[in-house]
Amino acid sequence: MKFTQLRLAGFKSFVDAAELRIDPGLTGIIGPNGCGKSNLLEALRWVMGATSAKSLRGGGMEDVIFAGTDSRPARDRADVTLTVDNSARTAPARFNDADILQVVRRITRGKGSDYSINGEEVRAKDVQLLFADAGTGANSPALVRQGQISELISAKPENRRRVLEEAAGVAGLRARRREAQLR
Ligand code: ATP
Ligand code: MG
């Protein structure tokens, strides 16, 4: 599963639509302090189904919406689209006919957030499982936040184990088992 493009609109400091092409190999993001580099990574984590406001450096889920500046009024919605190359056919059966997956997450003030994959409305769980199976989920150790290394060193063994499980790709299986047990 390869990420090929990230598109943001109204997300944090990205008030106007912005597109980031992700070519094969290494992509570097450079810029002065406060220009939005970390916000881009947060957008990536958010579209993959992150639900913890803390991991997105906000107090509540709506804090990801552009809050306005002296010169621009606040927005009342934000959306992020992640384009994924599925030519290796690693997506779950339901989406696996498509070469390209467009995963969209939107949030509107007072209305919460919703998700779609290739235009079809899906649950947060579907998006989380799609990425957890590929070992790239919103909690994936592939995404390292500032301060996360020291957090990991002092973490409880259970929490450290969760990180290892996400890396090993078993987090999706665990989530499915939990879901099956609830039925
Ligand atoms: P550094 O190099 O210091 O790590 P950075 O490039 O990672 O900086 P970010 O942390 O991504 O910068 O961006 C911070 C900016 O995003 C701040 O100016 C902050 O005001 C702005 N910002 C964060 N959330 C919102 C929001 N909801 N609405 C508008 N602006 C926001
Ligand atoms: Mg930063």
Distance in Å, CA 33 to ligand 1 centroid: 8
Does ligand 1 have an atom closer than 6 angstroms to the CB of 66? yes
Write down the ipTM of this complex.
Answer: 0.98
Q: For 17-43, what is each residue's pLDDT tens digit?
A: 999 999 999 889 999 999 999 999 999
Per residue in 82-98, pLDDT (tens digit) is 999 999 998 888 899 99
pLDDT exceeds 80 at position 53: no
State residue 141's pLDDT score.
67
- Could you tell me if the CB of 33 is within 6 A of ligand 1? yes
Helices (H) and strands (E) in the chain, counts: 5, 6
Q: Which ligand has the nearest atom to the CA of 67?
A: 1
Domains and CATH numbers, the chain: 2-182 (3.40.50.300)
